[in-house]
Amino acid sequence: MVALGASESTLTVTVMAKGEKTVQSSSDRLINHSESHYSKTPDQTHPDQKLSVCSKLCYAIGGAPNQVAGSATAFFLQIYLLDVAQINPFQASMVLFVGKAWGAVTDPVVGFFISKSKWTRIGRLMPWMVGCTPFVVVSYFYLWYVPPFSSGKFIWYLGFYCLYQTLITCFHVPYSALTMFLSMDQRERDSATAYRMTAEVLGTLVGAAIQGQLVASAHTLKHCSHHNVSLSLGHLGNVGGAEPGDHVVRSPAPVQDFLYHAKVVYMIAAGVIGGIFLICTLVMFLGVKEKDDPYSPRTEKPIPFHKGFMLVMRHGPYLILTAAFLFISVAIQLVQSNFVLFCTYAVDLRDHFQNIVLTILMSAAVSIPLWQWFLQRFGKKTAAYCGITWIIPFTIMLVFIPNLVVAYMVAVASGLSVAASLLLPWSMLPDVLDDFRLVNPYSKGHEAIFYSFYVFFTKFAAGISLGVSTLCLEFAGYNTGACQQPPPVAYTLKLLIGAAPVAFIVTGLMILILYPITEEVRLKNKLALDQLRTQGLSSRPQIEDLRSSA
């Protein structure tokens, strides 16, 4: 028993040494500590921490379907609700806001239940992802189905959007946290994250391509030329030169035929994307092995969720990173959700929007390896500034010079920033968790809290911004089902695409200045954590042998 106490005491003293200056910044604490104890060359990656290319690919493929579905909803759900389901802008804004807010609320709830989950033969996170996938597919399909009644459409879409957000959260939170259970080596995790982001951008590309190409015919002017015999412009609904009192004659039969066609193509697209979701989840299940951290200290009694939550919410680097990318992600969401409307009603690019969207996403997919090299060479914080600021001048250019050539230039440039905004937060979060483990070495199993609350804050802010942006269209006089909108709608869309995203991006980057985990701090964190794990690994067999003989 004396030997047991001595062994545990040695480990405890070492742990306290690493966390004794928690009131200081992690950078100051680790710089002082590293100079005295961790000046040696880092150990080589242990063989069992290495990930094969196949494992990384299967892991990456597992995240693609979420982005396929997310891309389709981000670019097309708003215009679908307005022009195909034909609910009014206020109802559409409520669907988008409440759905996103509900999805945000479910993130910490799901994170709580995941933290309470026990390990099974296939892991602790994998059962969540595999179990919810069939239900995700069903809810996603009915989100794009127009019910055979008109009075309850708002409730229909609100209900299925909230259900879809709940189920996709049950998939996305454990999938995001899975990064920490692939390998304990930072480089291996960063490499797996780069694979994941490449696959997710390709998934976004596939989702936009499938949805855009299949439903493009539902948003062209071809169905408008025969419906208005009173106005010489041949447009359905209100136009710039039409007065509210003008008599508009519409031909009901062609309108109904076209609306039926729009409903069918949206359901076909939903069915295809649902099939992709099932296939990719199966590939991930067969090719990824979830691993617990064998080197982290274990406590006799797990720390309660609420105490773990308070520890996470007091961790400065996490709060700064989340706040910065909250504003940046809101900017990207605004551009995504309003881009199709912008091309259709503000700049007369409705015949090209699907190809412009594909150009953005192809540029993003190609540039992911570039940003992975850049962050390894110059650091993640520098990569964030260089990558995300790149979109600002080009977005402004599209608003003020709205022609096709400029649109494609902006698409290529925007793709670079979209790739950076996708890759960097998920690459930086594991570094924050490593920093947290050094400050709280005996607090284990809180990965789901970190990832779920990060998604909670970004989703909630995005939901508010999307709801407000759709309400702005309502106040501007958006006419549901019309082929052309009044000038205030076009002006509002230009603000939503140009000024608002720029303001959010600048705010996010200003907050990111305070982020303390530089490349130097990240390396010292790695050295400190490696020694902590090594000591935990060497002392655990002695402790367990003594306990068994006691």
What gap in Å lies between CA 518 and CA 515, rounded to an integer?
8
531 within 8 A of 38, measured Cβ to Cβ: yes
Which residue, chain included where needed, has tokens 């140009």? 498
The tens-digit pLDDT sequence of the chain (550 residues) is 334 343 333 333 333 333 333 334 444 444 444 343 333 333 344 545 577 888 889 999 998 888 888 888 887 888 888 888 888 888 888 898 888 888 888 888 887 888 777 877 888 888 999 999 999 999 999 999 999 888 889 999 999 999 999 999 899 888 888 887 887 777 787 888 888 888 887 887 788 778 877 877 666 655 555 444 333 333 333 333 344 444 444 444 455 667 788 888 889 999 999 999 999 999 999 988 887 654 454 444 556 667 777 888 888 899 999 999 989 988 888 887 788 788 888 887 877 777 887 888 788 888 888 888 998 888 889 998 988 888 888 888 888 887 788 888 888 888 888 888 888 888 888 888 888 888 877 666 667 778 778 877 877 777 777 778 888 888 888 887 677 788 888 889 888 888 888 999 999 999 999 999 888 888 888 888 777 767 655 555 554 444 344 4
CA angle, 312 then 316 then 317, to 5°:
95
Alpha-carbon Rg for the chain, nearest whole angstrom, is: 26
Three-class DSSP labels, 465-480: HHHHHHHHHHHHCCCC
* Cα 174 to Cα 134: distance, rounded to the nearest angstrom: 16
For the full predicted model, state whether its pTM sits above 0.75: no
- Burial class from Cβ neighbours inside 10 Å (0-12, 13-18, 19+) for residue 427 reads buried
Q: Cα–Cα distances in Å, from 396 out to 256, 330, 391, 392, 495?
A: 39, 17, 9, 6, 10
User: Rounded distance, CA 233 to CA 228, Å?
Assistant: 8
335 near 395, Cβ under 8 Å? yes
Close Cβ partners of 400 (under 8 Å, ≥ 6 residues apart): none
Residue 291 is encoded by which pair of tokens? 């691993």
**234-242: long-range contacts at Cβ-Cβ below 8 A with a sequence spacing of 24 or more?**
235/482, 235/483, 235/484, 236/481, 236/482, 236/483, 237/479, 237/481, 237/482, 237/483, 237/484, 238/477, 238/479, 238/482, 238/484, 238/485, 238/486, 239/484, 240/484, 240/486, 240/487
Length of the chain in terms of residues written? 550
